[in-house]
């Protein structure tokens, strides 16, 4: 499994509560046009791992990891739509996730 996936899940495990992970999964699902339920009946971090692994391209994973890393370093919210949060594309200049 690519380390980007583990890095994304690791950052989220360290900085987010389960309900925040679920909101991140919902945001990604909306961005890629999928139903959130398609992530399966798993624990939140496992749902996130599934979504990042199977729903995002390599470039989208890179964008998400860069965005999450920057936000975590700044102590800013890691869930798009949270107070003062930007979407990945807005933060990175990318039109993808």
CA–centroid distance for 69 within its chain: 11
In the structure encoding, which two tokens stand for residue 40, read together? 């399966």
Note the pLDDT tens digit of each residue in 36-92: 888 888 999 999 999 999 999 999 999 999 999 999 999 999 998 776 444 445 454
Question: Are the C-beta atoms of residues 7 and 65 closer than 8 Å to each other?
Answer: yes
pLDDT value of residue 2: 64
The CA distance from 25 to 22, in Å, is 5
Global pTM value = 0.80
Residue 16: pLDDT over 90: yes
Q: What are the DSSP calls for 11-68, one per residue?
A: HHHHH--HHHHHHHHHHHHHHHT--GGGG-SS-HHHHHHHHHHHHS-HHHHHHHHHHH
pLDDT value of residue 57: 95
Q: Nearest CA to 26 among 94, 84, 82?
A: 82
With tokens 């200049």, the residue in question is 93
Residue 14: pLDDT over 50: yes
Residue 27: pLDDT over 60: yes
């Amino acid at each position: 499994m690519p380390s980007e996936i583990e890095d994304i899940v690791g950052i989220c495990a360290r900085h987010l509560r389960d309900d925040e992970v679920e909101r991140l999964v919902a945001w990604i699902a909306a961005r890629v046009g999928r139903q959130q339920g398609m992530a399966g009946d798993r624990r939140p971090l496992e749902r996130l791992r599934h979504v990042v692994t199977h729903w995002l391209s390599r470039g989208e994973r890179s964008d998400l990891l860069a965005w999450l890393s920057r936000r975590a370093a700044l102590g800013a919210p890691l869930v798009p739509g949270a107070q003062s949060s930007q979407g990945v594309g807005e933060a990175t200049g990318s039109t993808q996730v």
